[in-house]
Structure 1
Amino acid sequence: MSSTGWKKVLWERQPFPDNYIHPHSFLSSLRRNPNFKPYTYWPLVLLSCPITQHLATIFTFLAVFVRLKERWLDARVLLWVSIASFFGGYALCEILSYSNTVNGVPSRSKTIKSSLLVFLALMGLSPVLRTLTAATSSDSIWALSACLFLLNALLADYSTLKPAPHSQERLTSVLSMNAAISSSVVLASRLPDDLAVFSLVLFAVQLFALFPIMRHRLQVAPQVVQILFTLTLCVVSFVLTVPLSISVASIYAGILIAVTFVAPGVLVWAQKYKNEIRGPWDVAVPRLN
C-alpha cells in the first residue's frame, strides 16, 4: 500500500488503517525527557532541611529519654523547659500566622483551652502510662519504639509549600504523629516515676504534634532563618548525645550529613540516567489555549 497522500488527521477518510504511521515521520516527533527540569545541588540541600530538622528532633527526644531514665536529668527541669518552649513557639506561630485579626481572639481562647485539657489529661494519665507495659520485656519495647519512630520519619510531611490558612492535615501526617506519640508513650512507661513520665510525654507532644506546625510556618521565613534553625537543632541533638555515647553521636552526625549533603548530590548525579521517551504512540493530549 502506497503511503502517498497520507495525512495525520482523523476527520478525512483515507485508505489507511487508523493506527497507520508514515515510515519517514515515525521518529520525527520523538522527544526525550520533554518535562525534565534539571536539579541543582544547593537548592536540593535547602529542600532537605525539613527532613534534617525532623530527624534531629527524634534524636533529641531519644537523648532526653536516656537522661531521664538514668536520672541524669531532673524531670522538673524538662517540665519547665517544655512549658517555656510552648509559650515561645506559640508566640512565634502568632507572629507568622496567616489568620486575620477578627478571628484571632476566639482562636487563641480555643488554643488555650485545648492546651489546658491536654496538660491535665497527661497529668492524670501519667500513673497509668508508667505501668502500661510492666509485663513487657525491655527488648520488645526498644524494637517497637524503633519501628514506630521509623514509621514516623517515613510518613512525616516534609513539603515546603506555603501553608493555607485552613488547610487540613494529610492522613500520612496524622499517622506519623500517632506513631511518634505511641513510641514516646511506650518509652515513657520505662521511666521510674510519674513526674518523669508526664514530663517526657508532654515533651513528645510538643516535638511531634506542635513542632511540625511551627516548621511549616517557618517556610515563609528567609532561607537564612531556615538554615540557622536546622543547624541549631542538629547541634542540640549532637550535644545532648555526645555525653551519652560518642559512637551513637557519630552515627547521628553521619545520618544528618548524609541526608543533608550526600543525598542531594546522589540525586543530581543520578538525573543524567533519566530517559523518558515520548512519541506518536502515546495517548493524544489536547492542547487548549
Structure 2
Amino acid sequence: MVSVKYQKVLYDVSPHDFKILDDDHVYKMSSEINHSISSSSYRHIYWSTVAESGLITQQVSLVILFTILFVHLDTNNLQPINILIINALIGLIGLFLYRQHISLKLLQENFKTLSIFLLFGSLVSPVVFTLTKTISTDTIYAMSTLMMLTHLIFYDYGSETAMVQKALSFSVALFSSVCLASRLSTSFHTFCLVTSAVLVFALWPELRKYIKKSSFEIFSVLTIVHILGCIILLFHLSMLHMILYALAILFLTFLCPLWLISLQKYKISIRGAWEEAVVPEQTKDKFE
C-alpha cells in the first residue's frame, strides 16, 4: 500500500502559480522594481544603451554618405577613377583586418571573386545605365528614398526578431543604388556607384560586426567618425540638411535610449511553474 504522503505524480502545479495578478498588484510590482534600481544604475544603463545605439547611427550615416557620393558623382565633382582607387584601398585594408591569417590560397580565391565581380559589373553597367531612361527623375528619387528607408527598417541591428530581414534589407539597398546609378552621366559612373554600394552595404557591415566584437572602443570611435564625416560633407552641400541630420542623430542616439528606459517600468514578465525549464550557459559548459 502506497502512503498518501508520497503521491505518484510526474508534474505537480500549485494553484498559487496560476493566480491572476490584478492591476493593483502589477502597479506595486512595477514600483518595487523601479525603486530597487538606483540612480547610478540608471545612468549606467542609459549610457550603455547610447553606446549600443551606435550601430543604428552608423547605418543611417552610411546611407547619408552614399547619397552624398551620388550627388558628387552626378555633379562631376568627383572622378570615378578616384572613387574606384579609394574603394580598392578600403577593400584591401578591410581584408587584412577581417582575415588576420591570410594565405596564398585565400588570396587567390578572393582575387578570383573580385575578378568575376568586376567583369560582371563592367558588362552590366551599360544596361543599368539605360535601364530607367523612360522613368522620370522625380520618380526615381522617390523610389530610391523609399527603398533606403526600407533598408534601414529591416536591417539587422543585432536583435533576433521576426522584423529583421537581412536579404530584403540588402536587396532594397542595392536596388536603390541601381536606380540612382542609372541617373549618372556615363556607364563608368554607374559602375563606380554600384561598386561603392556593394562595399558599403555588403562588405562594410561584416567588417563592422567583427570590429564591434573585437573592440567596442574602436567601434565607438567609428561611430564618431561616421557622424563627423556626414556633418562636414553635408555642411558643404546644404546647411539645412546638415541641421536635420544633426537633429536626427541626437534623437536616435540620446532621446530614443531615454525613451526606451522609461518604458521599461511597463514591462512585466510573469514566470511560473508552467514555463519550460531553461538550462543556464554556465551549467551547459560544466556538462560539456
The two structures have a TM-score, normalised by structure 1, of 0.78
In structure 2, relative to structure 1, the CA distance for the partners of 1:287 and 1:68 (3 Å cut) is closer
RMSD of aligned C-alpha atoms? Answer: 3.5
Deviations 1:163-203 (A, max 9, x none): xxxxxxx9821221111111000000000112211111111
Deviations 1:247-285 (A, max 9, x none): 111111222222112111111112122234456xx8354
Matched, 1:206 2:205: no
Contact 1:155-1:175 at 8 Å conserved across structures: yes
In structure 2, relative to structure 1, the CA distance for the partners of 1:277 and 1:20 (3 Å cut) is closer
Aligned length: 258
Write the letter of the residue equivalent to 1:56. Answer: S
Counterpart in the other structure of 1:137: 136
Write the letter of the residue equivalent to 2:95. Answer: Y
- Take 2:46 and 2:121, find their aligned partners in 1: how far apart are those partners? 44
Task: Show structure 1 runs of 5+ residues with no match.
Answer: 1-6, 13-17, 96-100, 162-169
Matched, 1:241 2:234: yes
More helix by share: 2
Matches for 1:56-75 after TM superposition, within 5 Å:
56-75=61-80
Matched, 1:159 2:155: no
Matches for 1:191-270 after TM superposition, within 5 Å:
191-270=184-263
Task: Show structure 2 runs of 5+ residues with no match.
Answer: 284-288
Contact 1:129-1:189 at 8 Å conserved across structures: yes
Write the letter of the residue equivalent to 2:190. Answer: V
- Take 1:125 and 1:159, find their aligned partners in 2: how far apart are those partners? 34
- Take 1:248 and 1:145, find their aligned partners in 2: how far apart are those partners? 18
- Take 2:13 and 2:225, find their aligned partners in 1: how far apart are those partners? 61
Counterpart in the other structure of 1:165: none
Work out the percentage of aligned pairs sharing the same amino acid. Answer: 28
Write the letter of the residue equivalent to 1:132. Answer: L
Of the structure 1 ranges 134-143 and 119-128, higher mean CA displacement relative to structure 2 is found in 119-128
Contact 2:234-2:242 at 8 Å conserved across structures: yes
Shift, 1:19, TM fit: 10
Write the letter of the residue equivalent to 2:97. Answer: L
- Take 2:277 and 2:208, find their aligned partners in 1: how far apart are those partners? 40
Structure 1 segments, 4+ long, off by >6 Å, are 35-39
Shift, 1:42, TM fit: 1.2
Deviations 1:20-67 (A, max 9, x none): 947xx9579x8857x999871011112111111111110000011011
- Higher RCO, Cα 8 Å, sep 6+: 1
- Take 1:287 and 1:58, find their aligned partners in 2: how far apart are those partners? 40
Contact 1:160-1:219 at 8 Å conserved across structures: no
